[in-house]
Chain A
Amino acid sequence: MLTIVFFALSGLDVLDALDVVDKPGLIEWIYSLQVLPTDDKSNLSRCGFRGSSHIGVPYSSSKGPGAPHTYDSGHVAMTYTGLACLVILGDDLSRVDKEACLAGLRALQLEDGSFYAVPEGSENDMRFVYCAACICFMLDDWSGMDCQRAIDYIRRSSSYDSGIGQGAGLESHGGSTFCAVASLCMMGKLQEVFSERELKRIRRWCMFRQQNGFHGRPNKPVDTCYSFWVGATLQLLDVFQYTNFEKNRNYILSTQDRLVGGFAKWPDSHPDPLHTYFGICGLSLIGEAELRKVHPALNISMRAFESLRQLQGAWRQKST
């Protein structure tokens, strides 16, 4: 559920419409989703943020220790979107137990460098590598992951066609290519990990995803959200300016719902928060009027990113 709140909040932010939101109320609710260390700190490796209150843990606004519960643990995508939402809402993250989040994150990384979503185990792939990178990037602390292993995982996920798959051997895909490239950019290691020749080939693979809008894999239908996944990747690779803005824009707008608004993956389909959000971000990348610019790696507005930078600056000051 927190992921849906993220789409809504970040979308409103890019639309410069956050004033319609009850910021303090939302901040309280997000903090109520934090899985905090219990008194005896025995659950550190399970800390982070939950997606919702579905487990039934009693409401708590992150002002005391966590309540022990056998099945209560964070989820990497929720920790990522939880932190992002707090940043977007202008919170100073002072109630985030950063050390606990980082400990929870370390517990999720596998030997091959990828991540589980939850400590109980789950599937592992590039999506969670990206979530992990976002968490470390926002908390300004890379002790949450073994970067070298994650880098190895990314390299091993490169396909013969130079796109990047969800894991080694898997089909190259616009979503996983974004996750990989954005993660490397946040680590500051893009040029260290890929040679100029390799980067050229990744650019080529991404450029060929444009049909009018973008698709995620060769010979698949286009889908609004790839205007962001692939568009942002091209932006990070310095070549988004060479895409065809007109056709991209026309496609995204063709998926707009004339009755209720929002965007869908295809024209004449039901809109949903994810495609609406990424449609807006896709338009932002081409410089659509009245939309805020989006940070192509972290996937929040540049305004939110600036306030994060300020916050991080203050943290660094304090620690020196």
Chain B
Amino acid sequence: MPYQFYKLLFNVLVFYFRDRKEWADLEPVPQDDGPNPVVKIAYSEKFTDVFDMFRALLQNDEKSERAFALTTEAIDLNAANYTVWHYRRVLLQALDKDLREEMKYITAIIEDQPKNYQVWHHRRMVVEWLNDPSEELQFVAEILSQDAKNYHAWQHRQWVMQEYKLWDGELEYVEELLEEDVRNNSAWNQRHFVINHTSGYSDSSILDREVQYTLKQIKKAPHNESAWNYLNGILQDGGLSSFPGLLEQVTELQDTCSSPYLTAFLVDLYEDALETNSSSYDQQEMFNKALELCKFLAEEKDTIRREYWNYVSRSLQNTYGSGDPVSASSDPPPPPSSSQLPDMEPSDP
């Protein structure tokens, strides 16, 4: 009984579009899934009413204020409907709507649904039309303050910065975020993004600064893959084994800042020395140490990846060892390039 009462009340309070006199000229268009509808979603009456009217407007390609108002209702019911957003953009232009107002609107929607693709795309379009990025960095920072790793937010931020060349202050912003959470991988990525697009890493004073900064963060929080990935990444071009004093600095950290990442980093450094046949290092020592650390990782430091480290060890032995090729007893005979994979055999792309 109470349910029926509420339903009655609701019908009195909600004025369906189909019943409004300003909409009387428009015949609602239902969704048509044919004689055998497969996916029957139990839409509410309100939802059906709004979208039946939306379909009618779309069919006539109506460009009016009432159409614009309808899109607001439709978005409220389903902000992921990309057709509604597109139609709204058509109307924004056709009716020459106030884009500043639209910015306020989209700001509120994104705050409410920050992981929706369509809302971010819509914001980008409005920013482009206004050619005004002045609110963007602050807005994204606000969203990131609620979820510092929101991929959409970072994507929008990078687009704004690149499009409008807004690089100033970003390194400072990244450092603030890393102060708050040194394990924020998105912030580390952004650090690389900024430097890459401004000073670059080829200047040795920049590279030194970055290496020292990263080692400092590692000392604060040793078990941090993001910091180690950054260190490894920025030194790839020059080669890990070529950076002066790096082996010493990292080896020094082994006691106090031990982690699987540190050990893996050393394996990579040794491998780089082997690969470049560096005369600064005793090749045999590099080889032995690399294998020793793979074993250490497999047996103690990173046991979840035990089989992987054994595989790395075998690869190193096969590449740099002097003996017969090594394989695990469980290894199949060496595959002729990905025969374990389903035969792709595409036609010529």
Which of B59, B87, B233, B347 has most A Cβ within 10 Å? B347
Q: Contacts of B286 on A, CB cut-off 8 Å?
A: none
Question: A4-B39, A169-B196 are contacts. A238–B335 as well, Cβ < 8 Å?
Answer: yes
Q: Is the beta-carbon distance between B154 and A170 smaller than 8 angstroms?
A: yes
Expressed in whole angstroms, the Cα–Cα distance for A186 and B343 within the complex equals 10
Residues of A within 8 A of B37 (CB): 29
B82 interface hit (Cβ, 8 Å): yes
Residues on A with beta carbons closer than 8 Å to the beta carbon of B245: none
Q: CB distance A161 to B232 under 8 Å?
A: yes
What is the CB-to-nearest-CB distance from B61 to chain A, in angstroms, rounded to a whole number? 5
Does B307 sit at the interface, judged by CB under 8 A?
A: yes
Which of A38-46, A52-60, A94-102 is found at the contact surface with chain B? A52-60
Q: Is B32's CB under 8 angstroms from A56's CB?
A: yes
CB under 8 Å from chain B, chain A span 105-148: 117-118, 120-123, 125, 136-137, 140-142, 147
Residues on the A chain within 8 Å of B341, using CB:
185, 235-236, 238, 296-297
- Asked if A244 lies at the interface with its beta carbon under 8 angstroms from chain B, I say yes
Q: Is the interface of A mostly helix, strand, loop or mixed?
A: loop
| Contact assessment for B307 and A219 in the assembled complex, using a CB-CB cutoff below 8 Å | no
Which residue of the partner chain A has the closest CB to B81? A54
Flag whether A159 is at the interface (Cβ < 8 A): yes
Q: Which of A187-195, A262-270, A276-284 forms part of the interface with chain B?
A: A187-195
B38 near A29 with CB under 8 A, answer yes
Within the complex, the shortest CB–CB distance from A169 to chain B, in Å, comes to 5
Task: Name A227-275 residues within 8 Å CB distance of B.
Answer: 235-236, 238-239, 241-244, 247
Asked whether A1 lies within 8 Å of B233 as measured between CB atoms, the reply is no
Q: Are A219 and B36 in contact (CB under 8 A)?
A: no
Give the docked Cα–Cα distance between A35 and B347 (Å): 26
Provide the residues of chain B in CB contact with A162, threshold 8 Å: 233
B238 within 8 A of A: no
Contacts of B193 in A (CB 8 A): 169
Q: Is B289 an interface residue (CB 8 A)?
A: no
A219 touches B225 (CB 8 A): yes
In chain A, positions 19-63 with a C-beta closer than 8 Å to chain B are 22, 25-26, 28-29, 32, 52-59, 61
Q: Which residues of B contact A241 (CB under 8 A)?
A: 307
**Residues from 54 to 103 in B contacting A, C-beta threshold 8 Å:** 55-56, 58-59, 61, 81-83, 86-87
A43 and B238 CA atoms in complex are apart in Å by: 52
Among A69, A161, A241, A244, max chain B CB count under 10 A is at A161
Interface assignment of A220: CB less than 8 Å from any CB of chain B: yes
A71-B86, A220-B149 known; A142+B38 contact, CB < 8 A: no
- Separation in Å of the B229 CB from the closest CB of chain A? 4
Which single member of B59, B81, B82, B337 contacts A117 (CB below 8 Å)? Answer: B82
Please name the residue on chain A nearest to B124 by beta carbon: A123
Residues in chain B near residue A211, CB distance under 8 A: 304
Q: A155 interface residue, CB < 8 Å from B? A: no
State in angstroms the CA–CA spacing of A159 and B154 once bound together. 15
- Residue pair B158, A169 in contact (C-beta under 8 Å): yes
Task: Given the known inter-chain contacts A120-B86, A218-B226, please indicate yes or no for A28 contacting B31, CB distance below 8 A.
Answer: no
In the complex, whether A103 has a CB less than 8 A from a CB of chain B is no
Q: Is the CB of B225 within 8 A of A218?
A: yes
Task: State whether B38 touches A26 (Cβ < 8 A).
Answer: yes
Choice from A55, A118, A140, A218 contacting B185 with Cβ under 8 Å: A218
Confirm or deny: B346 has a beta carbon within 8 angstroms of a beta carbon on chain A.
yes
A169-B158, A241-B307 known; A188 vs B344 contact (CB < 8 Å) = yes
- A200-233 residues with Cβ-Cβ distance < 8 A to B are 204, 207-208, 210-212, 217-220
Q: Provide a sorted-by-A list of 23 A–B residue pairs whose CB atoms are within 8 angstroms.
A: A4-B39, A54-B31, A54-B55, A58-B32, A61-B34, A123-B117, A140-B346, A142-B346, A160-B192, A160-B236, A169-B193, A171-B154, A185-B344, A187-B349, A188-B344, A189-B349, A211-B304, A217-B186, A218-B185, A236-B341, A242-B311, A247-B304, A297-B344
Give B residues with C-beta under 8 Å from A.
Answer: 29-39, 41, 51, 55-56, 58-59, 61, 81-83, 86-87, 117-118, 120-121, 149, 151, 154-155, 158, 162, 183-186, 189, 192-193, 196-197, 224-226, 229-230, 232-234, 236, 264, 304-308, 310-311, 335, 337-338, 340-342, 344-349
Give 12 A-B pairs besides A136-B349, A297-B344 with Cβ atoms closer than 8 angstroms: A28-B36, A56-B55, A56-B56, A59-B32, A169-B158, A170-B189, A211-B304, A218-B225, A218-B226, A236-B341, A244-B304, A296-B342
Question: Which 4 pairs show the lowest CB-CB distances between chains A and B?
Answer: A160-B233, A56-B55, A142-B349, A59-B34
